[in-house]
Structure 1
Amino acid sequence: SWLKRFIDNDTRYEQFLCPLPRPSLTIEESRGNCPHTS
């Protein structure tokens, strides 16, 4: 779906690129790890 997002520049697909991290010990690891968020 990331390809679809870049081809169509469709921000509806943003949520599939970078899902919100679930509350866990890996939140710190996931934070700031997504170049596609605005």
Structure 2
Amino acid sequence: MAEPSFWPYGLGIAVVITLAVIIPLLRRRRKSGSN
């Protein structure tokens, strides 16, 4: 669908967003689990 030149940027943005969303969730689970 998207142009090949756009893939690297799209993947990078997707990874950053996913990490930004997953990391806080993992931290919350770890804190709630340990506590």
- Which TM-score applies when normalising by structure 1? 0.25
**Structure with larger Rg:** 2
- Which TM-score applies when normalising by structure 2? 0.25
Q: Which has the higher helix share?
A: 2
